[in-house]
Amino acid sequence: MPLRPAAATAMMPRWLSALSWSIALGLIACCPSLQAQSLYKYRDASGAWVYTDRQPPAGTTAQTITLDLEAKAPRITVEQRVDGQQLRLLAINDCGCEAEYLLRITNPGNVTLPPGAGAGAYHATLQPHSQQALLTAAFAAADVAGFRMSWRIVLGTPGATHRPHEPYRVPFALGASFRVSQAYPTRVTHVTTDTEYAVDLAVPDGTPIYAAREGTVINVRHDFFRGAPDVALLDQANMIEILHDDGTIAIYAHLHWQSIRVQPGQSVSRGQYIADSGNTGLTTGPHLHFAVVRNAGMRADSVPVQFTGAGGAAVTPLTGMMLTAY
């Protein structure tokens, strides 16, 4: 999905939402405390497994599973702090890659913006694991009132150029073949710049997924278990993001809940087992969404990818083709 600015936000809510990459695929801007949650697993009348947080029908034999919803995603956010009569807006990047921030003040309210504030726009690029004040300003009266802002964040080195050392490894088991259900130039759901060159692979739920290229894990989500063609689930796709040495980022999305085998900060090798495929988030059925994106300057752009084929030949994925892992 495209990067989206957060909705205009009143001053000092406890938690703020930022933007996420792909399939809101991505980054959790800020994470409130998460607690354990009970999940029920049972078979429905047709024999299919059902996972739900709702009590199963009376008389149904169900297994109760406790999910550990420990927040593994790094904080990537803009935090508001008040110190005396000073308002401070602090960009926080706990991610293992660079992050580019754009903050806009849509209504200053009783906050006095400093001269030369660029019409209320503030831009910064933060290095990994760093913080930076975007704005420090005085306000009148006892508290901040009427202040509104919006902001967005793009991960990755601004202007990164996609330079893979070799074609990508097909991200399922060697020797296996699965159909490409969507790839460029087909644009059924891949209609934004960050999904244009994404590849959807029709793999069954629970298929082991392997890293297509070596890199460093920068973000994961693992605790969602719902999947449906419902926009309400747009930000509920389990996913992994891996930073490459050229500054691009690979996204593996719709993964099975609690199947992720890597952590932020971990180095992974090409072909390493990282998770199982699933059917989480906004989806019409089990599949793996794979994309490589670059920060094109406050915009996430997907880039064309090729996979390793027979004899090491480069294979361009096309909708409907059978793709085999070599």
Any idea what DSSP says for residue 229? S
Mean pLDDT of 126-151: 93
Match 């660029």 to its residue by tokens: 118
Provide the residue ranges of all domains of the chain, joining segments of one domain with +.
9-31+73-155, 37-67, 177-324
pLDDT score at 30: 33
Question: What is the enclosing helix (H) or strand (E) of 157?
Answer: none
Instruction: Read off the pLDDT of residues 45-81 as tens digits, 9 standing for 90 and up.
Output: 777 666 565 677 888 888 775 544 444 678 899 999 9
Q: If you average pLDDT over residues 130-142, what whole number do you get?
A: 92
pLDDT at residue 313 tops 70: yes
CA distance 71 to 27: 12
Which residues contact residue 200 at a Cβ distance below 8 angstroms, ignoring those fewer than 6 apart? 180, 181, 182, 183, 190, 287, 288, 289, 290
CB 80 within 8 A of CB 11: yes
9-31+73-155: CATH class: mainly beta
Coil, helix or strand at residue 317: coil
Give the residue with greater pLDDT, 106 vs 223.
Answer: 106
The residue whose two tokens read 């460029």 is: 184
For the ranges 56-65, 75-84, 101-110, 304-313, the lowest mean pLDDT is seen at: 56-65
In this predicted model, what pLDDT tens digit does every residue of 203-260 receive, in sequence order? Answer: 999 999 999 999 999 999 877 767 777 777 667 788 999 999 999 999 999 999 888 9
CB 285 within 8 A of CB 320: no
- Which CATH code for domain 177-324? 2.70.70.10
> Does the pLDDT of residue 26 top 80, yes or no?
no
**219, 241 Cβ separation under 8 angstroms:** yes
- How far is Cα 172 from Cα 308, in angstroms, rounded to an integer? 12
pLDDT in tens, 157-213: 999 999 999 999 999 999 999 999 999 999 988 999 999 999 999 999 999 999 999
For residue 15, what pLDDT band results from cuts at 50, 70 and 90? very low
Enumerate residues 6+ apart whose C-beta is below 8 A from 63.
40, 41, 42
How far is residue 136's CA from residue 111's CA, in Å, rounded to a whole number?
A: 10
Could you tell me which residues come within 8 angstroms of residue 193 by beta carbon, excluding any fewer than 6 positions away?
2, 296, 299, 300, 301, 302
pLDDT value of residue 32: 34
Q: In the predicted model, what is the mean pLDDT of residues 83-97?
A: 93
Q: Kindly report the backbone phi and psi dihedral angles of residue 233, in degrees, each rounded to the nearest multiple of 5, phi listed first.
A: -100, 10
Residue 6 has pLDDT above 80, yes or no: no
pLDDT tens-digit profile of 109-131?
999 998 866 668 999 999 999 99
